[in-house]
Amino acid sequence: GVTRIEMGIQSMFDDVLAINKRGHTIEQCREAMNILREHSFKVSVHLMPWLYGSTIQKDIDTFRLTFADLSFRPDEIKFYPTAVIPNTELYQLYCTWAYTPLTLEENKHIIKTVLKEHIPPYTRIKRLIRDIPAEETVWSHYVTNLRQLVEQELTDELNSMNDQAKI
């Protein structure tokens, strides 16, 4: 009775996957996606902006490559901005300033850019943030209503463009 599989790709860059000890490569993900498609599964992939060793451009490119590569093009995505949680290796990097979390504005910039430029309309976005209680993360701007904030900003931008077109 299984019709859908979820896969934690996280990043389309092997160097980012390796430094974060993800345990897989992009080629392995590509092979897995091909097998799943051959067996008619719908696929939902998890993508994680701002993993240790990534950049804003790499994060945007992760979404671009996910949909440009014919082996990927998932039916659904879960967009999980990286969270710093106590008692993790990432937390230790955070404590020594080796890792700095994205600001809320940087996070929204990535999301708005990929929504407008890279994610096709047929793709369902199942989640736009993790279900981790805000008090369990270590930086204060981690918001649980990120989707609502981004959708409102995109609506405001669209309305502003429509108002400008009327002038």
pLDDT in tens, 34-90: 999 999 999 999 999 999 999 999 999 999 999 999 999 999 999 888 888 899 999
Q: Taking residues 12-37, what's their average pLDDT? A: 97
Q: Residue 81: its pLDDT value, please? A: 85
Q: Residue 57: its pLDDT value, please? A: 97
Which of 102, 10, 9 minimizes the C-alpha distance to 56?
102
Name the residue with higher pLDDT: 93 or 166: 93
Q: Residue 119: its pLDDT value, please? A: 94
Q: Residue 166: its pLDDT value, please? A: 74
Q: Residue 142: its pLDDT value, please? A: 63
Long-range Cβ pairs for the range 53-57 (8 Å, 24+)? 53/15, 53/16, 53/19, 53/20, 54/11, 54/13, 54/16, 56/102, 56/106, 56/109, 56/110
Structure token pair of residue 110: 């990535």
Q: Residue 141: its pLDDT value, please? A: 57
Q: Residue 139: its pLDDT value, please? A: 65
Q: Residue 146: its pLDDT value, please? A: 81
Q: Whole-model pTM? A: 0.86
Q: Residue 102: its pLDDT value, please? A: 87
Instruction: Give the alpha-carbon dihedral of 69, 74, 80, 81, to 10 degrees.
Output: 30
pLDDT in tens, 107-158: 899 999 999 999 999 999 998 777 677 677 776 456 778 888 888 988 888 8
